[in-house]
């Protein structure tokens, strides 16, 4: 399918697909005329990329999941094989960073709130 069809099937934009290609997360075959040609696996991959980004991972983090993006993502992360070990480490690191950010924002909010009283 062409880029527009693939983007629509994945629930995103053609610009996002091009960006994922630039970042090495997605690839497409080319037609004789040079147009991108995606298969159904690419649609699943894009949906998985979007899901991981939506839960707080960065594009760099998603690279750690590259070997896992062509299958359905589990509802819970678990260590199944060596590829999952790396992904789990990235997930735990990202969770720690989010917790630290939340703590900093909570402190800032409390300080601002105190000044408004």
Distance from CA of residue 45 to its chain's centroid? 9
Q: Which pLDDT score, from 0 to 100, does residue 78 have?
A: 60
Q: Which pLDDT score, from 0 to 100, does residue 71 have?
A: 86
Indicate the pTM of the whole model.
0.79
Average pLDDT over residues 83-90: 78
Q: Which pLDDT score, from 0 to 100, does residue 64 have?
A: 86
Domain residues for 31?
3-116
Tally of domains in the chain: 1
CATH of the domain at 111: 1.10.1660.10
Instruction: Please list, in sequence order, all residues whose beta carbon lies within 8 angstroms of the beta carbon of residue 106, skipping any fewer than 6 positions away.
Output: none
- Rounded distance between C-alpha atoms, residue 66 and residue 30, angstroms: 21
Average pLDDT over residues 79-101: 82
Q: What is the tens place of the pLDDT at every residue in 53-81?
A: 998 899 999 998 888 899 887 776 665 66
**Apex CA 101: angle with CA 96 and CA 102, to 5°?**
95
Q: What is the tens place of the pLDDT at every residue in 4-42?
A: 999 999 999 999 999 999 999 999 999 999 999 999 999
Bridge pairing between strands 29-30 and 36-37: antiparallel
Average pLDDT over residues 43-56: 94
């Amino acid at each position: 399918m062409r880029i527009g069809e693939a983007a629509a099937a994945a629930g995103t934009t053609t610009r996002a697909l091009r960006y994922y290609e630039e970042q090495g997360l997605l690839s497409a075959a080319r037609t004789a005329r040079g147009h991108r040609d995606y298969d159904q696996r690419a649609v699943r991959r894009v949906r998985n990329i979007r899901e991981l980004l939506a839960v707080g991972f960065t594009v760099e983090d998603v690279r750690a999941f590259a070997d896992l993006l062509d299958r359905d993502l589990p509802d819970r992360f678990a260590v199944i094989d060596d590829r999952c070990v790396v992904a789990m480490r990235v997930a735990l690191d990202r969770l720690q960073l989010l917790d630290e950010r939340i703590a900093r924002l909570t402190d800032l909010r409390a300080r601002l709130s105190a000044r408004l009283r």
